[in-house]
Amino acid sequence: MAEVGVNIERAAAYLNQGQLVAIPTETVYGLAGNALDIKAVSSIFETKNRPTFDPLILHADSLERIYPLVSSFPEKLKRLAQAFWPGPLTLLLPRKEIISDLVTSGLDRVAVRVPNHPLTLALLAQLEFPLAAPSANPFGYISPTQVGHVDAQLGTQIPYILDGGACAVGLESTIVGMEGEQVVIYRLGGLDISKIEAVVGQVTVQAHSSSNPSAPGQLASHYAPRKPFLLGNLVELVPKMIQQGKEVGVLSFNSHFSTIPSDRQVALSATQDLQEAAQRLFMGMRLLDESTASVILAELVPEIGLGRAINDRLKRAAAQPIH
């Protein structure tokens, strides 16, 4: 398995050698490599078994270190960067030639962000290059929010995992760009739309699923457990599945079912706190996927604030089981 620790110099040494390292962020753990090294970028796709038509997000430690990577920076997006970096915001910006087609899947824009985690910011400050860092998990599976998740899935394929504890946000970053003069959200995530609109005014949401995405994280089936994952009304689904003889696991907002063992139930937030629910979402999916349940039943949360991003992940997890 991978070595796990908090040694930034050791992580930097591996990255400087062109190897991959798992890094903590406030959203999820990332599988990081030198974004300017085509071999390292190729290794990211190979290690994750990620299709090359799904672009990567680049990470730097400051707004100033993003400028050399992009050819222009629209004023509205710059205001968002100044307001929310470091934080769970990714911006889609016109790229410079220094960024390879492999990173952007041949698109003319590159996704960039400044993550909000002290260990990773310190690591990025030591490096002379940005890091490409999609989530540190096999492609399509549940994103990792703890070191153990990364080690269990990729520990035999990478030399080092930088241990930053549990991820504070637990949902991937919100991806924002522009179409003409209009600010567009391409992926719902850990930064609430209302906060974005408070800075730049009304936005358009185009977080549609696509087999040819214009931004990272737009595929229809994603973030999915290995087991069948059904989304609907739990009050109806639970007895129906039990009657069919299924070993039921339940991922609810704040409900409890006396007919199901407690080790096959996860309530995202007993107090109906959407921030807590977001933080626990992927962990809950993973616990149920590793349980004795044969099918996982889930329900949508209120479609407000971070609830929109949580529901986006739930719908994509239920799009089709991954075997």
Query: Does 185 reside within a domain?
Result: no
Considering the domain architecture, whether residues 61 and 145 belong to the same structural domain is answered as yes
Nearest to 311 by CA among 240, 253, 255, 259: 253
Quickly list H helices, 85-192.
101-104, 118-126, 147-154
Pair 94, 233 in one domain: no
User: What are 253-302's pLDDT values in tens digits?
Assistant: 999 999 999 999 999 999 999 999 999 999 999 999 999 999 999 999 99
pTM: 0.91
pLDDT number for residue 87: 98
Beta strands in 188-289 (DSSP E): 204-205, 229-231, 248-252, 265-267
Residues 161 and 254 both lie in one domain:
no
Q: Is the pLDDT of residue 323 over 50?
A: no
Other CB atoms within 10 Å distance of the CB of residue 307: 18
Number of domain units in the chain: 2
Query: Domain boundary at 129, 149, 170, which?
Result: 170
Q: Is residue 7 included in any domain, yes or no?
A: yes
Distances (CA, A) of 125 to 6, 29, 59, 89, 300: 15, 18, 11, 19, 40
pLDDT tens-digit readout, 28-41: 999 999 999 999 99
Gap between the Cα atoms of 132 and 111, Å rounded: 10
Q: What's the pLDDT at 185?
A: 96
Q: pLDDT, tens digit, for every residue of 145-157?
A: 999 999 999 999 9
Q: CA–CA distance from 39 to each of 43, 56, 108 (Å)?
A: 6, 14, 21
Out of 170, 188, 206, a domain closes at 170
Is there a single domain that holds both residue 47 and residue 139?
A: yes
- Residue 120: which pLDDT band, with cuts at 50, 70 and 90? very high
Do 92 and 236 fall within a single domain? no
The answer to the question of residue 193 being in a domain is no
Domain identity same for 155 and 253: no
Residue 322 confidence (pLDDT) above 60: no
Structure tokens, 43: 């290794």
State pLDDT tens for residues 173-220: 999 999 999 999 999 999 999 999 999 999 999 866 555 567 776 665
CB 185 within 8 A of CB 174: yes
Q: In this predicted structure, what is the pLDDT of residue 52?
A: 84
95-99, 296-300, 312-316, 318-322: range with lowest mean pLDDT: 318-322
Residue 198 lies in a domain: no
Q: Which of 148, 170, 192 is the last residue of a domain?
A: 170
In a domain, 150, yes or no: yes
177 falls within a domain? no
Does 151 share its domain with 268?
no
Confidence of residue 224 (pLDDT cuts 50, 70, 90): confident
Residues 97-117: tens digit of each pLDDT? 999 999 999 999 999 999 999
Please report whether residue 192 resides in a domain: no
Assess contact for 288 and 273: CB atoms under 8 A.
Answer: no
Average pLDDT, the chain: 94
24 and 116 assigned to the same domain? yes
Query: Could you tell me the residue range of the domain that residue 297 belongs to?
Result: 229-317
Question: Residue 245 sits in a domain of what CATH number?
Answer: 3.40.50.11030
Task: Report residue 289: phi and psi, to 5°.
Answer: -65, -30
> Can you tell me the distance from the alpha carbon of 223 to that of 206, in angstroms, rounded to the nearest whole number?
19
In this structure, the answer to whether residues 152 and 295 fall within a common structural domain is no
In terms of C-beta density within 10 A (0-12 exposed, 13-18 middle, 19 or more buried), how is residue 304 classed? exposed
CATH number for the domain harbouring residue 143: 3.90.870.10
Q: CB neighbours of 206 closer than 8 A, spacing ≥ 6?
A: 184, 185, 186
- Provide the pLDDT confidence category of residue 223 given band limits of 50, 70 and 90: confident
Distance (Å, rounded) from C-alpha 112 to C-alpha 169?
18
Percent of the chain scoring above 90 in pLDDT: 89
Q: Has residue 212 been placed in a domain?
A: no
Question: Hey, is 45 helix, strand or coil?
Answer: helix
